[in-house]
Amino acid sequence: MNNKNLAKVALRYRAIFLDVDRNNIDLQSVASAPVVAFVARLKENGYCVSEELLHALNTVSADQLAEITLCINSVMGTDLNWAPLVKGWNVPTGESVIDHIITLVANIFGEKAGVKGATLPCGHLIPNGTFPLERYNGCPFCGKQFQTTDFVYKGQGSKLKELRLFTLDDLLNVFRSLLSSPTPLDGTQRDNLGMLLHEFPLPENADIAMKETAMLVVKLLVAQNCADDAQRLLKTPTDVLRYLWFEKTGYAQIIEPKTLVAHARRLYSHLWKPLSRGDNAADEMKKNLMLKYDRKACLRVAKWLNNQQMTPRQAAENMNPKRGMWVRMIRALRLGEYSRKNGFEHLAAILDVFYKQDYTTWQGKVDKARAANNADQTLALLKERPGLFARCLFATMLRFGSDKVLAAFSEIANALPARLLLSLDNSAEIYFNANESRIARPITGITHQIEPNKMLALYDVDARKSMIEAVRKVYKQSMTQRFAAQKTKAKSIYIDPALYQIPVAVGDRSATVQDASCALMGTRFPIEGDAVRLFLQWGKGLHSQHLDMDLSCNITFANGRNDVCAYYNLTCVGAKHSGDIREIPEMVGAAEYIELSLPELESAGAQYVTFTCNAYSVGALSPNLVFGWMDSANPMRVSEQTGVAYDPSCVQHLVRISQGNLSKGLVFGVLNVANREIIWLEMPFTAQTIQGVNSAAVEALLHKLDKKIKVGELLDLKADAQKLTRSESADSADEVYTYEWALNPADVSAILNA
């Protein structure tokens, strides 16, 4: 068993994993010297321990405590190079565009013009009277870093985060909750499940609700030579195709390969670069998507399809939406050859019907009835497939009228997963607003704005509001019935007030990995001090190269004016930047910071500050790039000698880009200046600078998160349906739902299993 993996998973839930029995913990024990030293190291990183954990630490060896310390240091990045380009960057260097122009001219005509100055290791001549070189850790002209450090500040944080005890039973509960989650897993949950799948055997009769989760399990079973056991998770040909696609790309959502390749070409192309990387990137992606399978893989897929419980016509209809991909897959997997072998008669029948197209499609019937404006026939067909009915409910209401459509929908509402009903409730207000665009976030990493449905113009404001209320009524009735049907012995419930600020995670998932803790999209982090310090670190383990990642922020003022703090504007009202590093040093990576002064922002009339990180020099954000923000009621120092400004004890939220993330840029938070709180969100965009951020899209996402049903509101429905008494204290309640409980999104989603 890999304790390092288990320790990482536990830390994301604000816990420390110890392989101990809770019943054997001596709650009267006195902390030993190694435990005291360990707790002191935790405090330096901004953590304290619960009483139970403190006593449990006495039962483990000093070596194990040292291993846990190393794991936490690795997660918090204390072994990274946190030196920025400018030393003591909280005091501006005074560099200007003129300095860059003079330096450029000097490097072109320096020898001929007799310009005096200093020649740096990168080869650039810095003329006297331009950049103050004593203030830099590298070249201020090209952004190459020369000096690094292994030093970070520790212990400046004003608020310690409590860690609790996790045993094997706790991790197994997390494992089961991830497998049974009724909502798709976010990036952190997928990473957790991947690590736990390698440590624990798959539970018998595991209830795996989501297709994406099933793909992770199938991949593990295949790696363990247990492909036959995966048959129960591959119930349709589309499930088989989804796994084949997941195996190639890491994505469970199937999109046409040409679409993904085209996206790579757009993503990697730059106007400023003479030789476009776009074609090379697209060619590389094409190579990765080439359909080459060995005999073992071909036989595996042939068995999966041959053992399908569907009739040949049902299977062929299921394959029809991705017919083009199936034609290529059939050839690449030699399925025609296997269909002629004994024992593969069902596969032969499926292929025969598929190629002869001797089948009709349900979607074709729906489209025909809808085009003929036949409401009765359309609704009768939609009721056959409740999930698809839910996905086209709003458009169908606009076409045929809300009363008739919702009457039909109510008949099948209880057959739907609760997450789909919740998504409808969350989306209704925005969808039926004729003046508000919606946003969509496909796996390609581009955030799209969708204009309002044109048919909304046929209805007046009151009619549209009644549609919203009608959808909400259907949702509440169905959820109330589900909660009421649940058996519970509880008489009272405690709901943490903070849960009324956290949206239920349905529809908006984070693709990044949160190593230090987990937070749901839309979580609000209150600011304690007068400063917020953004940080960005990238390039760890890579050779010295041109790899330019940028940290930026956009400040919106009450009068409508905007200001930007970025590599081209290092200082502005209320913000200071640590300098633009464009070439990383050998193996240790590089860092950038932005310091935000809340008093200055408030006095200048700033309303919001939007945080972004961008890939300027390559097609996508660098894997394992780390970003986030720090906050403390105590002053946070900046080193005059190195410029290091990172302190793990002050980190409020830390996020890591995972492998395969296609984002060119990422909005990762919005500071509400008046409320002194940061809203955690994740909105990918394709521009290589902050100038490409679509402010309207950011506002639309914030509005969407604000309109989503909150965790506390969902618990209110549960309390009312089960007639539970609200308790003011967690100690006196039978059921307790705290902010710490909400740190496990899978547990929050489990409420939807009603």
Query: What is the rounded CA–CA span in Å between residue 288 and residue 338?
Result: 25
Please name which of 108, 107, 85 lies closest in space to residue 117, comparing C-alpha atoms.
107
Tell me if residue 520 falls in helix, strand or coil. Answer: coil
Read off the amino acid at residue 107.
N
**Region for residue 643 given its phi and psi (left: phi exceeds 0; alpha: psi -120 to 50; beta: otherwise):** left
Angle (CA) 45-50-55 rounded to 5° is: 110
Residue 278: per-residue pLDDT: 41
Tell me if residue 532 falls in helix, strand or coil. Answer: strand
Tokens of residue 599, six digits: 């008093």
Residue 182: per-residue pLDDT: 78
pLDDT digits (tens, 9 = 90+) for 560-614: 899 999 999 999 999 999 999 999 999 999 999 999 999 999 999 999 999 999 9
Q: Which residues contact 190 (CB under 8 A, 6 or more apart)?
A: 212, 216
Output Rg (C-alpha) for the chain, integer angstroms.
Answer: 28
Residue 279: per-residue pLDDT: 43
Residue 270: per-residue pLDDT: 37
The domain segmentation of the chain, as residue ranges, is 3-76+156-197, 97-130, 211-254+291-356, 362-485, 492-505+710-753, 524-707
Please name which of 628, 630, 609 lies closest in space to residue 673, comparing C-alpha atoms.
609
Helices (H), 15-96: 33-44, 51-57, 62-76
Neighbours of 449 (CB within 10 A): 12
* Strand bridging mode 651-656 / 665-672: unpaired
Q: Answer yes or no: pTM beyond 0.85.
A: no
CATH architecture type of domain 524-707:
Sandwich (2.60)
Query: What is the rounded CA–CA span in Å between residue 130 and residue 601?
Result: 30
Please name which of 76, 58, 65 lies closest in space to residue 8, comparing C-alpha atoms.
76
DSSP assignment of 575-592 equals EEE-----EE-TTEEEEE
Please name which of 604, 532, 613 lies closest in space to residue 566, comparing C-alpha atoms.
613
Query: What is the rounded CA–CA span in Å between residue 387 and residue 392?
Result: 9
Tokens of residue 683, six digits: 């909105």
Query: In the chain, what is the greatest distance between 2 CA atoms, to the nearest angstrom?
Result: 89
Dihedral sign of CA atoms 24, 25, 29, 30 in order: positive
The burial class, CB within 10 Å (0-12 / 13-18 / 19+), for 111 is exposed
210 touches 182 (CB < 8 A): yes
Positions in the chain short of pLDDT 70: 1-2, 111-113, 256-289, 439-448, 505, 507-508, 659-662, 743-746, 753-754
Residue 1: per-residue pLDDT: 60
Q: Which residue has the tokens 């909280």?
A: 90
Query: What is the rounded CA–CA span in Å between residue 341 and residue 333?
Result: 14
Residue 282: per-residue pLDDT: 47
Residue 83: per-residue pLDDT: 97
